[in-house]
Amino acid sequence: MLKKEFRSGFVSLVGRPNAGKSTLLNYMIGQKIAITSDKPQTTRNRIVGVITNDEWQMVLLDTPGIHKPKDKLGDSMVKVALNTLNEVDVVYYLIDGSVPFGGGDAFIIQKLKEVKTPVFLLLNKIDLLDKNKLLPMIDFYRAKRDWQEIVPVSALKGENINSLLEATLGHMQKGPQYYPEDALTDQPERVLIAELVREKVIETTREEIPHSVAVIVEHMESRTDDLVYIGVSIYVERDSQKGILIGKNGDKLKVIGSRARLDIEKLLGNRVFLELWVKVKTDWRNRDSLLNELGYRQK
Ligand SMILES: Nc1nc2c(ncn2[C@@H]2O[C@H](COP(=O)(O)OP(=O)(O)OP(=O)(O)O)[C@@H](O)[C@H]2O)c(=O)[nH]1
Ligand SMILES: [Mg+2]
């Protein structure tokens, strides 16, 4: 029997902050490779997720939420997202179906009108919706643009993701296997670890702090066969934020550390000794050299 020709392609996930892009990426990959949170602007970089089988490979690109930038980090995040639109075979434009249409989505739809790539409109979070609202909502969005597909989904519950995959496969062309068959992501282990720490900081803080935090793994070494030592710096922008993050008697930092350690141990399959330092880097979100050092793309 003749083997079918191998197919492959790229899909970019774009949308406003909090639409559920990273949740969808994790669901489709079957593992947590992107951190998620209920606070906007969680993802700061393009994150590759790979699905491979004998017949095809799909490379998904999770991107930062498109928003009105207030600093250089924000500029870079929005550019990262918009730059993917013309590089891929399919764009998934995720809408949070549980919040009203607003200027942010009007801006993205305008941008999408300028690209030739097929765009799937994904109405996400349908688990939160009254089913009677779905059809009128689909009609509302149908009038906004000529979408390749409109797919209601729940990234959190995994609803309708199989039909989404089927529809997407129709756009994969004959092509190479871009990543090894066992690759799930392009992120190095140290980045995954730093991101898990950042996720716990976002989870346990409010207002400006989640946006003011950057995390770097400084040291990582095996101390014994089953114990890895990991030293991590958490950067904030002001002394007052450092105080909040450490908390009374170091309590807050302890919570962050123990939650992060559990996730990191799961990731590495090893016991972990995690040491966290909080440091101040004034206004790092507007300083090119620091943005580069912290791994946030500048284009
Ligand atoms: N109920 C429900 N919640 C969802 C769904 N998808 C995502 N969420 C929640 O929405 C919040 C935002 O999800 P993320 O995946 O971090 O959103 P994002 O689009 O990656 O956000 P940014 O990285 O900030 O652009 C999280 O609290 C998720 O648990 C869904 O289908 N249903
Ligand atoms: Mg995200």
State whether 141 and 249 are in the same domain. no
**Residue 19 CA to ligand 2 centre (angstroms):** 8
Upper half-sphere CA count for residue 77 (Cβ side, 13 Å): 24
CATH number, domain with residue 32: 3.40.50.300
Task: Output the residue whose Cα is nearest ligand 1's atom 21.
Answer: 18
* Residue minimizing CA distance to atom 24 of ligand 1: 41
Helix (H, G, I), strand (E, B) or coil at 69: coil
Cα distances from 4 to residues 1, 59, 89, 258, in angstroms, run 9, 19, 20, 48
Query: How far is the C-alpha of 11 from the C-alpha of 61, rounded, in Å?
Result: 6
User: How many A from CA of 145 to the centre of ligand 2?
Assistant: 24
DSSP class of 4: P
In a shared domain, residues 164 and 234: no
Q: Provide the pLDDT for residue 232.
A: 98
Contact 119, 93 (CB under 8 A): yes
19, 143: one domain: yes
Helices (H), the chain: 21-29, 72-83, 103-113, 131-142, 161-169, 189-204, 209-212, 239-246, 251-268, 288-293
Confirm whether 181 is domain-assigned: no
From 13, 23, 122, the mutation candidate for ligand 1 (largest count of ligand atoms within 8 A of CB) is: 23
Looking at 174, 201, 222, the residue that finishes a domain is 174
The verdict on 133 and 214 lying in the same domain is no
Domain ranges, residue 223:
189-293
Ligand 2 centroid to residue 224 C-alpha, Å: 35
Pocket of ligand 1 from Cβ distances under 6 Å: 15, 17-23, 36-38, 40-43, 64-65, 124-125, 127-128, 154-156
Q: Tell me: do 223 and 142 sit in the same domain.
A: no
> Domain ends where: 124, 140, 174?
174
For residues 72 and 198, state if they share a domain: no
DSSP one-letter code for 40: S
pLDDT score for 1? 56
Residue 179 lies in a domain: no
Residue recorded with tokens 């207002």: 207
Per-residue pLDDT of the chain (299 residues; tens, 9 = 90+): 556 799 999 999 999 999 999 999 999 999 999 999 999 999 999 999 999 999 999 999 999 999 999 999 999 999 999 999 999 999 999 999 999 999 999 999 999 999 999 999 999 999 999 999 999 999 999 999 999 999 999 999 999 999 999 999 999 999 999 999 999 999 999 999 999 999 999 999 999 999 999 999 999 999 888 899 999 999 999 999 999 999 999 999 999 999 999 999 999 999 999 999 999 999 999 999 999 988 886 55
Say how many domains are in the chain. Answer: 2
117 and 245 belong to one structural domain = no
Asked if 40 and 124 sit in the same domain, the reply is yes
> Are 71 and 149 within one domain?
yes
**Distance, CA 168 to ligand 1 centroid (Å)?**
21
Can you give the CATH number for the domain in which 209 is found?
A: 3.30.300.20
Confidence at residue 299, expressed as pLDDT on a 0 to 100 scale: 54
User: In terms of domains, do 12 and 158 share one?
Assistant: yes
C-alpha 21 to ligand 2 mean position (Å):
5
Tokens for 96? 């949070």
Q: Which of 174, 203, 233 is the last residue of a domain?
A: 174
Specify whether 152 is located in the same domain as 109: yes
Residue from 156, 198, 202, 296 whose mutation best tests the ligand 1 pocket (most atoms within 8 A of CB): 156
pLDDT for the residue numbered 224: 87
Taking CA atoms, 53 is separated from 9, 37, 58, 195, in Å, by 13, 30, 9, 28
Best residue among 13, 27, 36, 42 to mutate for probing ligand 1's pocket (most ligand atoms within 8 Å of CB) is 36
- Measured in angstroms, how far is the CA atom of residue 37 from the centroid of ligand 1? 7
- The answer to whether residue 180 sits within a structural domain is no
214 and 146 inside one domain: no
